[in-house]
Amino acid sequence: MLWRKKAGSNRRSTGANGKRKRLLPKICLAFLIGALFGLLFLTGGRPEPQEIPADDQHRPFLEALTKGEVRLQVEKRCPSCHGPQGTPLSADHPLPEQCLLCHPAK
């Protein structure tokens, strides 16, 4: 970090061209730091999706999956309970479709 500052201050006398050159590594660094914080923000603190319980409500789905039924067809029936009626998803539930992408079947 220190060497970078020194090199910059030495080149300050080279004028506009030199200034533009020194800006690039700074932009790269800012971008990297921003990306890192963005990643932390997106992934950190979010709870893991629960496994689908192996109870009577869900056994038909799990059996359909092991029989090789297409995932997109199976999960179409989830909202019949996890919809406005039944046991609705919480307000901050992400993306209420393609359930089985996130919720693993036991």
Q: Which of 43, 44, 94, 106 lies at the binding interface for ligand HEC (CB under 6 A)?
A: 94
Contacts of 98 (CB under 8 A, 6+ apart): 71, 72, 75
Its sign, for the CA torsion 27, 33, 34, 39, is: positive
CB of 51 to ligand HEC, least distance (A): 7
**Environment class of 36 (CB within 10 Å of its CB; exposed 0-12, middle 13-18, buried 19+):** exposed
Build a one-symbol-per-residue string for 19-58: x at contacts with ligand HEC by CB under 6 A, - elsewhere: ----------------------------x-xx-xx---xx
Summarize as ranges the residues that interact with ligand HEC (CB under 6 A): 47, 49-50, 52-53, 57-58, 61, 74-75, 77-82, 86-87, 89-90, 92-103
